[in-house]
Amino acid sequence: MEQYIELLKSNKIKVTPQRLAIVELMDVHGHISVRDIFAHIKANFPSLSLATVYKNINAMVESSFIKELKIVGQDAKYELIKEEHSHMICKNCGKVDDIILETNAIVTSASEISNYNIDESSVQLLGLCPDCQ
Amino acid sequence: MEQYIELLKSNKIKVTPQRLAIVELMDVHGHISVRDIFAHIKANFPSLSLATVYKNINAMVESSFIKELKIVGQDAKYELIKEEHSHMICKNCGKVDDIILETNAIVTSASEISNYNIDESSVQLLGLCPDCQ
DNA sequence: CTGACTGCAAACGTTTTGCACGGTA
DNA sequence: TACCGTGCAAAACGTTTGCAGTCAG
């Protein structure tokens, strides 16, 4: 709890119960959609408005401490920004898992081949998770 | 033209002027949004309906000969499926370019580390294109 | 105390749907 | 000719906005 308060404060965002609930849920779930954030929090906090969730998520993305994850065939999900990592996505159940991979080689290679100045990469690996195989 | 007719026929999709215009535009542009498809074709084909564009794109995705490309901060784009490739995206102007990269190493590595059965990867490299540097 | 945040309702833009007509095979 | 595709209008979504009341700092 204290950690979430600090996270918000260090990003100069006012601390409110709604915001704490959002970052806590994101931290626990790893990746979560707006729909799921709303459903989960609303259960224990009935006055919550969807508009508030949207406003806060947009503000947090703006402040660059959460980021949006777009996945083909799924709603956008949001996650707290921590160490850089890639995502594995199950084509059957939709589960998303983090994995830390060495992606420098790809970025370097792309920089050499093209004239782009690349400073960020997004790697998604699609397949079947252990449970769905 | 003949090639586009073949493409549709080989996917058991009836050939219509609207569909030919869509696949031709996609082939020429590489990656294009629904909005842009509609705008471009409508110019020479005023009776075209947006609903038709949506219905056809969905059918083509369903038939797996085009695919949806989701990019953070942009509308979804669609492209014909050809050889596997990665995408470089300009953070300034939004341009998307294809690049062929060796991604087997990453897939292999992820397969070894995790218990996922991975058969597809999506790599997006973000930065500045030559014109925007 | 003051400005920012919340919840509500309305507005908006995008995508989907149902239906009558028209075109492909 | 029979069926599928098209265009239109309406409906269904997801997301954003404006506003009045409330709360955090």
Give tens-digit pLDDT for A12-55.
999 999 999 999 999 999 999 999 999 999 999 999 999 999 99
* B81 CA from C21 C1′ (Å): 34
Contact with chain A for residue B2, Cβ under 8 A: no
Flag if B117 and A133 touch (Cβ within 8 Å): yes
Which pLDDT tens digit goes with each residue over A65-108?
999 999 999 999 999 999 999 999 999 999 999 999 999 999 99
Give percent of chain B above pLDDT 70.
Answer: 100
Chain B residue with the nearest C-alpha to that of A74: B70
* A48 CA from D17 C1′ (Å): 18
- Residue A63 confidence (pLDDT) above 90: yes
Residue whose Cα is closest to the C1' of D15: A54
Rounded to two decimals, what is the model's pTM?
Answer: 0.94
Distance CA B64, CA B97 (A): 21
- Residue B129 confidence (pLDDT) above 90: yes
Tell me the CATH number for domain A86-127: 3.30.1490.190
Torsions phi, psi of B18, nearest 5?
A: -60, -45
Which pLDDT tens digit goes with each residue over A99-119?
999 999 999 999 999 999 999
Provide Rg for chain B, Cα atoms.
17
The closest of A34, A41, A39, A40 to A18, measured between CA atoms, is A41
List the domain boundaries for chain B. 2-80, 86-127
Distance CA A129, CA B105 (A): 19
- CATH class (in words) of the domain with range A2-80: mainly alpha
Per the listing, tokens 């075209």 go with B48
Torsions phi, psi of A120, nearest 5?
A: -160, 145
Per-residue pLDDT, B2: 86
Point out the residue among B88, B117, B130 whose CB comes nearest to the CB of A110: B88
Helix (H, G, I), strand (E, B) or coil at A112: helix
The closest of B54, B13, B12, B2 to B33, measured between CA atoms, is B54
